Amino acid sequence: MAELIDITVPGQKKSYPLKDVTILGRAATTDIRLDDLLVSRHHARICKSGSGYLIEDLGSQNGVFLGGSRIAASQPLTNGEKICIGPYTLVFKDVESNPYPSAEYTQIIMAAKDTLPGTPDAAMGGVATGKGNIEQLQKNLKIFHDIARVIGDINDLDTLLNEIIQILFAVFPHAGRCFVALHDGEESQLVIRTVQTKDSDMPGEGGVLSQTLARRAIEERKSLLVMDTQMGSQVSTSIKVIGARSMLCAPLLCPQKPLGILQIESKSREYEFSKADLDLFTGIASQVALLIYSAELFDDLKKAHERIASENKNLRKQQQVQSSFSNIIGRSPKIHEILERVKKVSNSPYSVLITGKSGSGKELIAKSIHYNSSRSGQPFVPLNCAAIPRDLLESELFGYEKGAFTGAVGTKQGLFEVANKGTIFLDEIGDMNPHTQVKLLRVLQEKELLRVGGTKAIKVDVRVLAATNKDLKAAISNGEFREDLFYRLNVVPVHVPPLCERREDIPLLVAHFLESSSADVGRRVKGFTPEAMVLLSNYSWPGNVRELKNVVERIVTLAPDDSVLDVEMLPQEISNKSPVQLQKYKSAGTLYEAQRQLEMEMIMDALKSAKGNKSKAAELLGISRKVLYEKLDAYKI
């Protein structure tokens, strides 16, 4: 039987048995999964062929390397051969042949001598036999245990490195200097990050390191033992300057990238670091690399978290300003009434159900309620129930546990948890399916939820605001909406009338959007002509304030600088009055007179079309019967 041994991280071998056909790649369906972006989804294939194995590149992006060169056609594998794929190094091993050589990731450099001196504690890295060796193994285990403890407690990189150096001094009592050097940003040069010395004449802060030695350790992915450094001529000047007699230098590698090196040096004449020291040091370095990597990740996460928190704070402030009551424009009695109610209800804990046609300002009102409540420093989380597929709505709202359904690979918080201590705004609540309605009712009553697939109740403190453009009472009688949920949500009802029922707000809204969109696009305009204003005021606005806002924004964007906005600039559906008719209104003199005249004409037309039926005429005009009666009275029609 043959296998591949992953030696990417020194000291952490992983073996994969080979089948008759074995696929390697990033895809989850491969036999040997190499999870890195440098690896293609189906990168390479190893097939049994006669008594041996062949490797073949499956058209990967970054290639398969054997002995340092990229393979073009399929190649036979020989025992002990290294296969490089992306950041991974895998060794091909035939179990019948020689065992994998343990010295694969270490190398001994001797400056003067060419034979390895006797190593008093050689058994440390080798096979343990006898009492002394078992004690040594136990000692080594304790070292790794100590390192593991350090991982658990510390996430700050500098504190972590200082602790590790302390452990190294304890493990290698002859070491006089110990340091960690890391890549500085994108630089290929290494910079000492943390250094400690026991020998006062060894270089400390800002001290020397041999870039050549470090680069060699990183490029060859090998730990190096350098002996007799002061005697040979091959060693670099910087090593001589350090004044050590022997040193251990291990690359700090993690699957994603090389981080730097870990090095200890000794000046002792009586003791030189040995092969056994090198093996132990290599094992420690592989742990240290992972620790540094996770500390760096933690640091990045912390920074990202701080940045997001401050951005969030600014955004909330902006939202608060934009959602103040003064941003709800209008002077009609209806808007006035809504504002009074909204102000009163803001600080109460109750649910508010906002009804009204699309674009009439329901979400703006919901935001104002939130940002003027004691919850304003907490999240406002809007969700459009109509925009989420039925099956997903529940997990979107309440979250799910890992394995709750196919595709639930991890646990996810729902929006109720995200909105904790804040407000959730459920838009288009009338489109929520009955099953989710039951769950929502439970959350409103119990103030706790179960994630999909979960069994543990999670407490939440969320205020619910809901909106709909549907007639929920009708939905209740059709059996589409739960009556109990309706009464839970409708503690305080707010109805926003369509824009055509509060035409007196139109000029104010137009002025408001003219100002905001001029500022947005950086253009000055002089406002609408009286004729254009009359048309804007009389249009039916089926899309309500949203439509009005879009119309004004479009006109401002297209208008020349400093222009007066005339009828021609209005969209066809608003300006479909002939110039002759307009002239008639113009001759009426004041805007008020023109408006009066137009209203009278439109009412007469509508009454004529409705054959005198006032309800129908009101409907045609887009106003309530009550308003129509008032107008008939005022115009004495």
Ligand X SMILES: Nc1ncnc2c1ncn2[C@@H]1O[C@H](COP(=O)(O)OP(=O)(O)O)[C@@H](O)[C@H]1O
Residues forming contacts to ligand X in the complex (CB under 6 A) are 328-330, 356, 358-364, 545-546, 549
Smallest separation (angstroms) from ligand X to the CB of 496: 7
If contact means CB under 5 to 8 A according to the sort of partner, which of ligand X, Mg ion, none does residue 470 touch? none
* 125 within 8 A of 102, measured Cβ to Cβ: yes
Smallest separation (angstroms) from ligand X to the CB of 330: 5
From residue 64 to residue 83, what is the string marking binding to Mg ion with x (rule CB under 5 A)? --------------------
Neighbours of 565 (CB within 10 A): 21
- Cβ proximity to ligand X, 261 vs 366, nearer residue: 366
Instruction: Using alpha carbons, list the distances in angstroms from residue 467 to 354, 386, 422, 450, 629.
Output: 5, 11, 17, 24, 30
* 174 within 8 A of 266, measured Cβ to Cβ: yes
What is the largest distance, in Å, between two alpha-carbon atoms of the chain?
120
Please give the span between the terminal C-alpha atoms of the chain, in angstroms, as a whole number: 102
Query: 169-190 burial, b if ≥16 CB within 10 A, otherwise e?
Result: bebbebbbbbbbbbbeeeeeeb
- Residue showing the smallest CB distance to ligand X in the complex: 361
Tokens 């005429």, residue located: 617
- Cβ proximity to Mg ion, 57 vs 363, nearer residue: 363
If contact means CB under 5 to 8 A according to the sort of partner, which of Mg ion, ligand X, none does residue 86 touch? none
If contact means CB under 5 to 8 A according to the sort of partner, which of ligand X, Mg ion, none does residue 545 touch? ligand X
- Angle in degrees, CA 456, 461, 465, rounded to 5: 120
Q: For residues 58 and 447, what is the distance between their CA atoms, to the nearest angstrom?
A: 55
Stretch that binds Mg ion, among 52-60, 137-145, 357-365, 565-573 (CB under 5 A): 357-365
Sorted by sequence, the CB contacts under 8 Å of residue 514 that are 6+ apart come out as: 525, 527, 528, 552, 556
- Cβ proximity to ligand X, 412 vs 495, nearer residue: 495
Two tokens, residue 14: 């992983």
Handedness of CA 270, 272, 276, 280 (dihedral sign): positive
If contact means CB under 5 to 8 A according to the sort of partner, which of ligand X, Mg ion, none does residue 546 touch? ligand X
- Cβ proximity to ligand X, 54 vs 508, nearer residue: 508
If contact means CB under 5 to 8 A according to the sort of partner, which of ligand X, Mg ion, none does residue 364 touch? ligand X
If contact means CB under 5 to 8 A according to the sort of partner, which of Mg ion, ligand X, none does residue 430 touch? none
Smallest separation (angstroms) from ligand X to the CB of 296: 43
- Cβ proximity to ligand X, 277 vs 547, nearer residue: 547
Smallest separation (angstroms) from ligand X to the CB of 547: 9
* 552 within 8 A of 570, measured Cβ to Cβ: no
- Cβ proximity to ligand X, 46 vs 506, nearer residue: 506
* 224 within 8 A of 216, measured Cβ to Cβ: yes
- Cβ proximity to Mg ion, 384 vs 563, nearer residue: 384
If contact means CB under 5 to 8 A according to the sort of partner, which of Mg ion, ligand X, none does residue 359 touch? ligand X
Sorted by sequence, the CB contacts under 8 Å of residue 198 that are 6+ apart come out as: 169, 175, 176, 177
Smallest separation (angstroms) from ligand X to the CB of 252: 54
- Angle in degrees, CA 159, 161, 166, rounded to 5: 95
Q: Is 320 exposed, middle or buried (0-12, 13-18, 19+ CB in 10 A)?
A: middle
- Residue showing the smallest CB distance to Mg ion in the complex: 363
Smallest separation (angstroms) from ligand X to the CB of 329: 4
Q: Is 200 exposed, middle or buried (0-12, 13-18, 19+ CB in 10 A)?
A: exposed
If contact means CB under 5 to 8 A according to the sort of partner, which of ligand X, Mg ion, none does residue 288 touch? none
Smallest separation (angstroms) from ligand X to the CB of 463: 18
- Cβ proximity to Mg ion, 143 vs 386, nearer residue: 386
Q: For residues 325 and 80, what is the distance between their CA atoms, to the nearest angstrom?
A: 75
- Cβ proximity to ligand X, 328 vs 591, nearer residue: 328
Smallest separation (angstroms) from ligand X to the CB of 218: 56
Smallest separation (angstroms) from Mg ion to the CB of 622: 20
- Cβ proximity to Mg ion, 111 vs 386, nearer residue: 386
- Cβ proximity to ligand X, 326 vs 572, nearer residue: 326
Smallest separation (angstroms) from ligand X to the CB of 327: 6
Positions 358 through 387 that interact with Mg ion (CB under 5 A) = 363
- Cβ proximity to ligand X, 274 vs 468, nearer residue: 468
Smallest separation (angstroms) from ligand X to the CB of 512: 6
If contact means CB under 5 to 8 A according to the sort of partner, which of Mg ion, ligand X, none does residue 549 touch? ligand X
Q: For residues 56 and 171, what is the distance between their CA atoms, to the nearest angstrom?
A: 45
Count of residues interacting with Mg ion (CB under 5 A): 1
The strand pairing partners of 528, in sequence order, are 565
If contact means CB under 5 to 8 A according to the sort of partner, which of ligand X, Mg ion, none does residue 361 touch? ligand X
Positions 543 through 562 that interact with Mg ion (CB under 5 A) = none
Smallest separation (angstroms) from ligand X to the CB of 555: 16
Neighbours of 112 (CB within 10 A): 13
- Cβ proximity to ligand X, 24 vs 364, nearer residue: 364
Smallest separation (angstroms) from ligand X to the CB of 543: 9
Instruction: Using alpha carbons, list the distances in angstroms from residue 83 to 11, 13, 80, 86, 423.
Output: 18, 14, 10, 10, 56
If contact means CB under 5 to 8 A according to the sort of partner, which of Mg ion, ligand X, none does residue 412 touch? none
Helix, strand, or coil (residue 69): strand
CA 85 and chain centroid, separation: 29
Smallest separation (angstroms) from Mg ion to the CB of 555: 23
**3-state SS string for 449-508:** ECCECCCCCEECCCEEEEEECCCHHHHHHCCCCCHHHHHHHCCEEEECCCHHHCHHHHHH
- Cβ proximity to Mg ion, 232 vs 382, nearer residue: 382
Contact residues toward Mg ion (CB under 5 A) are: 363
